[in-house]
Copies of this chain bind each other. A is one copy, B any other.
Amino acid sequence: MDDDRPLFFHVMAYADDADHDVIDMVSGDPDWEPPTALREGLREFADAPVADYQYPPSEGRGDLRDLLADRHDVPVERLVVTNGGGEANHLAMACGLEAHAGNEVILTDPVYPYYADRAELLGADVTYAPVADDGALDPETVRAVASEETALIVACSPNNPTGAVYGESVKRELTDIAEANDALYVSDEVYEAFDFSGRFHSALAFDSENVAVTNSFSKAMATTGLRVGYAILPDHLVDPVRTRHMLTNVAVTAPGQHAALKALRETPDDYYAETRAMLESRIEHFCEALDAAGAEYIQPQGAFYVLARFDGFPGTLDNTKRLIDEAGVAGMPGDAFGSAREEWLRFALVSPRADEAADRLAAYFS
Q: Which residues of A contact B (CB under 8 A)?
A: 1, 3, 5, 27, 29-34, 39-40, 42-43, 45-47, 50-56, 58, 83-84, 86-87, 90, 114, 117-118, 121, 222-227, 240, 243-244, 246-256, 259
Pair B243/A1 contact, Cβ less than 8 Å: yes
Copies assembled = 2
Shortest Cβ distance from A267 into chain B, in angstroms?
A: 14
Q: In the complex, which residue of chain B has the Cβ closest to the Cβ of A249?
A: B83
A255 and B121 contacting across the interface, CB-CB below 8 Å: no
A115 — nearest CB in chain B belongs to which residue? B247
Instruction: List chain B residues, Cβ under 8 A from A86.
Output: 247-250
* B225 and A121 within 8 A (CB): no
Contact B50 A222 (CB under 8 A): yes
Q: Which of chain B's residues have a CB closer than 8 A to the CB of A253?
A: 83, 225-227, 253, 255-256
Complex contacts, A42 vs chain B, CB 8 Å = 42-43, 45-46, 255
Smallest CB-CB separation from A31: which chain B residue? B50
Which residues does chain B contribute within 8 Å of A3, judged by CB atoms? Answer: 243, 246-247
The answer to whether A222 and B46 have CB atoms under 8 Å apart is no
Interface of A is mostly: helix
Q: Which B residues are CB-close (under 8 A) to A240? A: 1
- Chain B CB within 10 Å — which of A34, A84, A247 has the most? A247
Closest residue on chain B to residue A82 by CB atoms: B249
Q: Closest CB-CB distance, A252 to chain B, in whole Å?
A: 7
B30 touches A50 (CB 8 A): yes
Show 24 A/B contacts (Cβ-Cβ < 8 Å), sorted by A.
A1-B240, A3-B243, A3-B247, A5-B58, A29-B51, A29-B55, A30-B54, A31-B51, A32-B50, A53-B222, A53-B224, A53-B226, A55-B225, A84-B249, A114-B250, A117-B243, A121-B244, A121-B247, A225-B251, A227-B251, A227-B253, A253-B253, A253-B256, A255-B255
User: What residues of B have a CB within 8 angstroms of the CB of A121 in the complex?
Assistant: 243-244, 247
| Further pairs besides A86-B248, A255-B256: 19, Cβ < 8 Å | A1-B243, A27-B55, A29-B51, A31-B50, A43-B46, A50-B222, A54-B223, A55-B224, A55-B225, A83-B227, A83-B250, A83-B253, A86-B249, A90-B248, A117-B243, A224-B251, A225-B251, A227-B253, A248-B248
